[in-house]
């Protein structure tokens, strides 16, 4: 099989050996869960329950009627004890529903739904009602990707199994342990989109999943999926970071580039994380919403590296030390991988729908460097997979020249971390770009508001001058 | 469970490559070792004296200057050692020590620290050092000696040992065969071979093309530099020389063009960041140096060729590659 890849990118040490052979372990009885109202990109949710209510596993407890809405569900049976701000892995510490377990085992799932016979609207509604978000990290509502406008025809669905972040192995284990569910999820996605071509994309550091996936595809096409014309294949990719970045993956598989400011659907592609496909399969076959999350627990300070599946909202500190044992010299805890993950200040942070791993780092792993001066070696420019010019953007941002940074493509930066990783002077490029993007967006919004306000004031002044004989005062005020 | 009062917080990414500034500078020093050792072996003690004086004064000047302006000391990154080594290797082995020290002062303090230190200097420090010496002491900087020199360097050299470089012979109206004769060779292939192996008069580090190439290949293999600039510079030197009727092989093998292409035109701070910029930089430096050799007052033009291109680097950096998402079918603009 030929290897596909993208241009640029780096090779941080993989460090996946610690957990790659550990079968996914299920832990289903936390004493409490902390379910944040917002663990997704999109409209903020409102709680549907109040303190004192009894809830069952699978019951919808938070929702909204916003455009990018995604509901959240109780992941255990119990009683709502508190609705208050709690530590969160995005560090925003949003409002969460705290449920105390009562030992019950009843579930309140949706009825099973045959994706191949229901309407497209019913299928999309099911994926939405099951609260499925992209499980790779960003938490974009999965149903949005499955409802492209008619002007954006989709030609290919890519299952993102690259798992390019160092340390993480949960996608790899999911491939080995539930290939049938993944293939079903892929077929459901293809069917909903009316697309035939689906590709499972995996990096070539996990070639052993290829026969497993191919066998599952063969079985599915011979059984349940026969006669539907699906063309599902497995494609190996070069092991390189960030191979699993959506834009890089699309470049590798299709040779096309997502336009600046656009979405994958602009080039006819839909990318779904493997975990998302499994959740989609469960939502149709069992009516089960996204209430369990598989993730990797690893790192030098973790004595028990493993792959774990827990109810969403399980607080990390509850798993220590019985499920996860941690060394005393623990220095840093990451939610997600080391390249794009977030370091959290407390172990009381709950596992969210988009938590793909928890990395416990020793002081040796979590080295901190003083920021040096850019020596203009150009390594960041050669490695940047978005072909931006990190060194020049850094220079522009240091001199607060936002227009120059914008011209280079600051808003196109995907914050993958490659430039900071390779920088020999340890310049905090990504950190500066992240802040710069926020400022630039705010400046653009302010500029738009100003233009709008000026246009309105001008219109009002013209209306006033037409009505009254003395136009001087509103016009002169406006001129300032 | 251990109580973790203070977990470390940081912005992603949380892991970093082992390649540090110090490592890159060390790579350059390693790449320069073969030419340095060879230079000392053919020119003797005098060359060792120049190298040592230059390196020590560069490091000292950096430490002193940073102490005076109360700035953080950063001799640990080895960049001053690289500057010192580069300066020594582009000086004649007979350069007096005090002159070398003045060159080091010009390199480190004037060309580098005045502009803010490593990464901020617009002009190549070692070349500025050499340029200032060349203007101040033209005689000392253009007196060449056949290897080996005696123990005291230029001080007690007899006239018999003093010689002109092949480039100077051509500049003074000599022929290629005349230049060949100055190296004791009587055929062009022998002449090229002599130039390639480098046992002839010249600057300490510039004579052996073979060893320079070994160092250059090492830098490219360790990804310390990319080959765009040296390839462009050497190719354009050959092409443009041929266009002006000069033997292209001779143009590339003589003087400091190969050394300059691999070690000066690839200096991080003073050359373009973009690939297109690097190619144009190399080509531009080559055009200027050939013009100086052919029509200018000096027999050699590498120093000024590179320094002149240093000045236009901000413009060359505008030649950026198209960013992801701005080309192809889906592009909006």
Segment A251-299, tens digit of pLDDT: 999 999 999 989 999 999 999 999 999 999 999 999 999 999 999 999 9
Question: Which residues, other chains included, contact A361 with Cβ-Cβ below 8 Å and sequence gap of 6+?
Answer: A299, A300, A301, A330, A331, A332, A333, A334, A338, B14
Q: Helix, strand, or coil here: A298?
A: strand
Structure tokens at A112: 């099973």
**Which chain A residues contact residue B12 at CB under 8 A?**
338-343, 415, 417, 420, 430
Closest Cβ opposite residue B330 in set A257, A392, A430: A257
For chain A, say whether B72 makes contact (Cβ under 8 Å): no
**What is the band of B327 on the pLDDT scale with cuts at 50, 70, 90?**
low
Q: Can you say how many angstroms the Cα of residue A423 is from the centroid of all Cα atoms in its chain?
A: 26
Closest Cβ opposite residue A387 in set B15, B118, B321: B321
Residue B187: exposure state from Cβ atoms within 10 A (0-12, 13-18, ≥19): exposed
Q: What is the pLDDT of residues A233-243, one digit of tens each?
A: 999 999 999 99
For chain A, say whether B327 makes contact (Cβ under 8 Å): yes
* B184 vs A152: CA distance, rounded Å: 75
Question: Which residues, other chains included, contact B301 with Cβ-Cβ below 8 Å and sequence gap of 6+?
Answer: B288, B289, B290, B291, B292, B293
Report the mean per-residue pLDDT for chain A: 92
Instruction: Name the residue with higher pLDDT: A308 or A3.
Output: A308
CB B254 within 8 A of CB B212: no
For chain B, say whether A247 makes contact (Cβ under 8 Å): yes
Structure tokens at B72: 């953080």
Closest CA to B142 of B154, B158, B124: B154
**Which chain A residues contact residue B5 at CB under 8 A?**
none
Q: Look-up: residue for tokens 């903020």?
A: A44
Of all helices (H) and strands (E), which one includes residue B133? helix B125-136
Radius of gyration of chain A from its Cα atoms, rounded to whole angstroms: 24
Burial B39-76 (b: 16+ CB within 10 A, else e): bbebbbebbbbbbebbbbbbbbbbeebbeeeeeeebee
Q: What is the pLDDT of residues A94-140, one digit of tens each?
A: 999 999 999 888 999 999 999 999 999 999 999 999 999 988 877 88
What is the per-residue pLDDT for B5? 59
* A337 vs A30: CA distance, rounded Å: 24
β-sheet bridge partners, residue A57: A107
Give the predicted TM-score (pTM) of the model: 0.90
* A227 vs A246: CA distance, rounded Å: 31
- What is the pLDDT averaged over residues B135-155? 70
CB A172 within 8 A of CB A209: yes
* A172 vs A209: CA distance, rounded Å: 7
* B46 vs B97: CA distance, rounded Å: 9
Domain ranges (residues) in chain A: 111-285, 369-466
Burial B268-292 (b: 16+ CB within 10 A, else e): bbbbbbbbebbbbbbbbbbbbbbeb
- What is the pLDDT averaged over residues A450-467? 89
Q: Helix, strand, or coil here: A4?
A: strand
Q: How far is CA A56 from CA A50, A351, B82, in A?
A: 14, 19, 69
Residue B172 in this model has a pLDDT that exceeds 50: yes
Q: Helix, strand, or coil here: A335?
A: strand
Q: How many CB atoms neighbour CB B155 within 10 A?
A: 10
DSSP class of residue A57 equals B
**Is A369-466 assigned to CATH 2.60.40?**
no
Structure tokens at A25: 């372990």
∠ Cα B20 B23 B29 (to 5°):
150
Residue A23: exposure state from Cβ atoms within 10 A (0-12, 13-18, ≥19): exposed
Burial A407-425 (b: 16+ CB within 10 A, else e): ebbbbbbbbbbbbbbbbbb
Q: Measure B48 CA to nearest chain A CA, in Å.
A: 29
Residue B156 in this model has a pLDDT that exceeds 80: no
Closest CA to B261 of B222, B309, B294: B309
Structure tokens at B256: 């400091």
Count of A-B CB contacts under 8 Å: 182
For chain B, say whether A257 makes contact (Cβ under 8 Å): yes
> Which residue from B minimizes the CA distance to A268?
B330
Residue A480 in this model has a pLDDT that exceeds 80: no
* A256 vs A416: CA distance, rounded Å: 19
**What is the band of A479 on the pLDDT scale with cuts at 50, 70, 90?**
very low
**What is the band of A475 on the pLDDT scale with cuts at 50, 70, 90?**
very low
* CATH no. for A111-285: 3.40.50.11540
For chain B, say whether A374 makes contact (Cβ under 8 Å): yes
Q: Measure B19 CA to nearest chain A CA, in Å.
A: 6
Residue A162 in this model has a pLDDT that exceeds 80: yes
Residue B286 in this model has a pLDDT that exceeds 50: yes
Q: Helix, strand, or coil here: A100?
A: strand
What is the per-residue pLDDT for B202? 86
DSSP class of residue B106 equals I
For chain B, say whether A320 makes contact (Cβ under 8 Å): yes
Taking an 8 Å cut-off on Cβ atoms, the answer to whether B324 and A375 are in contact is: no
């Amino acid at each position: 099989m030929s290897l596909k890849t993208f241009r640029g990118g780096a090779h941080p040490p993989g460090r996946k050996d610690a957990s790659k052979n550990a079968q996914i372990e299920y832990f289903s009885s936390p004493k409490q869960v902390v379910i944040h109202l917002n663990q997704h990109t999109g409209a903020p949710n409102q709680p549907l329950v109040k303190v004192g209510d009894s809830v069952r596993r699978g019951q919808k407890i938070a929702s909204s009627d916003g455009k990018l809405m995604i509901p959240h569900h109780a992941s255990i049976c119990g009683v709502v004890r508190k609705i208050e701000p709690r530590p969160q892995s995005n560090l925003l510490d949003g409002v969460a529903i705290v449920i105390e377990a009562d030992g019950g085992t009843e579930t309140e799932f949706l009825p099973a739904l045959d994706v191949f016979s229901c309407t497209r609207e019913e299928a999309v509604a099911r994926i939405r009602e099951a609260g499925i978000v992209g499980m790779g990290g960003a938490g974009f509502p999965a149903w949005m990707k499955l409802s492209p406008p008619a002007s954006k025809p989709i030609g290919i669905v890519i299952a993102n199994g690259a798992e390019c972040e160092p340390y993480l192995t949960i996608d790899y284990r999911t491939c080995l342990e539930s290939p049938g569910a993944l293939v079903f999820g892929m077929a459901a996605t293809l069917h909903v989109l009316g697309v035939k071509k689906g590709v499972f994309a995996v990096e070539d550091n996990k070639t052993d999943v290829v026969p497993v996936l191919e066998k599952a595809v063969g079985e599915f096409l011979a059984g349940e999926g026969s006669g539907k014309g699906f063309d599902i294949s497995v494609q190996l990719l070069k092991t390189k970071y960030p191979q699993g970045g959506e834009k890089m993956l699309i470049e590798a598989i299709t040779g096309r580039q997502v336009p600046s400011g656009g979405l994958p659907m602009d080039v006819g592609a839909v990318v779904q994380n493997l975990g998302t496909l499994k959740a989609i399969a469960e939502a149709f076959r069992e009516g089960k919403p996204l209430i369990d999350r598989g993730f990797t627990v690893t790192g030098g300070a973790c004595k028990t590296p493993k792959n774990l599946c827990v109810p969403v909202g399980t607080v990390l500190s509850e798993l220590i030390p019985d499920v996860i044992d941690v060394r005393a010299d623990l220095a840093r805890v990451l939610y997600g991988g080391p390249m794009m993950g977030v370091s959290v200040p407390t172990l009381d942070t709950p596992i969210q729908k988009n938590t793909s791993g928890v990395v416990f780092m020793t002081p040796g792993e979590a080295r901190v460097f003083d920021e040096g001066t850019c020596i203009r070696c150009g390594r960041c420019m050669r490695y940047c997979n978005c072909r931006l010019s990190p060194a020049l953007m850094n220079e522009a941002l240091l001199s607060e020249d936002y227009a120059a940074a914008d011209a280079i493509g600051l808003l196109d930066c995907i914050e993958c971390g490659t430039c900071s990783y390779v920088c020999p002077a340890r310049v905090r490029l990504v950190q500066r770009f992240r802040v710069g993007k926020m400022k630039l967006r705010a400046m653009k919004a302010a500029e738009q508001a100003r233009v709008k306000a000026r246009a309105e004031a001008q219109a009002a002044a013209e209306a006033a001058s037409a009505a009254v004989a003395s136009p001087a005062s509103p016009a002169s005020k406006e001129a300032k | 469970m251990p109580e973790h009062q203070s977990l470390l917080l940081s912005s992603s990414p949380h892991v970093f490559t082992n390649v540090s500034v110090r490592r890159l500078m060390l790579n350059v020093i390693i790449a320069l070792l073969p030419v340095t050792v060879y230079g000392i072996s053919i020119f003797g003690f005098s060359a060792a004296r120049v190298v040592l004086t230059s390196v020590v004064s560069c490091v000292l000047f950096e430490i002193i200057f940073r102490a005076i302006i109360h700035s953080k000391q950063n001799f640990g990154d080895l960049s001053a050692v690289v500057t010192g080594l580069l300066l020594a290797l582009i000086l004649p082995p007979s350069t007096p020590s005090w002159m070398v020290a003045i060159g080091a002062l010009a390199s480190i303090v004037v060309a580098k620290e005045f502009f803010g230190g490593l990464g901020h200097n617009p002009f190549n420090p070692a070349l500025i050092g050499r340029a200032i010496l060349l203007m101040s002491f033209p005689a000392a900087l253009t007196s060449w000696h056949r290897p080996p020199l005696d123990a005291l360097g230029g001080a007690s050299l007899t006239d018999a040992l003093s010689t002109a470089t092949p480039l100077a012979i051509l500049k003074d109206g000599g022929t290629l065969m005349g230049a060949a004769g100055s190296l004791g060779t009587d055929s062009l292939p022998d002449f090229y071979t002599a130039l390639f192996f480098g046992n002839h008069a010249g600057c300490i580090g510039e004579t052996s093309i073979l060893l320079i190439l070994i160092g250059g290949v090492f830098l490219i293999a360790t990804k310390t530099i990319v080959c765009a600039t040296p390839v462009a510079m050497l190719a354009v030197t050959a092409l443009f020389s041929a266009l002006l009727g000069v033997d292209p092989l001779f143009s590339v093998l003589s003087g400091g063009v190969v050394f300059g292409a691999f070690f000066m035109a690839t200096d991080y701070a003073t050359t373009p960041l973009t690939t297109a910029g690097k190619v144009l930089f190399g080509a531009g430096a080559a055009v200027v140096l050939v013009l100086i050799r052919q029509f200018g007052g000096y027999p050699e033009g590498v120093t000024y060729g590179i320094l002149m291109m240093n000045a236009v680097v901000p413009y060359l950096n505008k030649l950026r590659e198209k960013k992801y998402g701005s080309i192809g079918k889906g592009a909006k603009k």
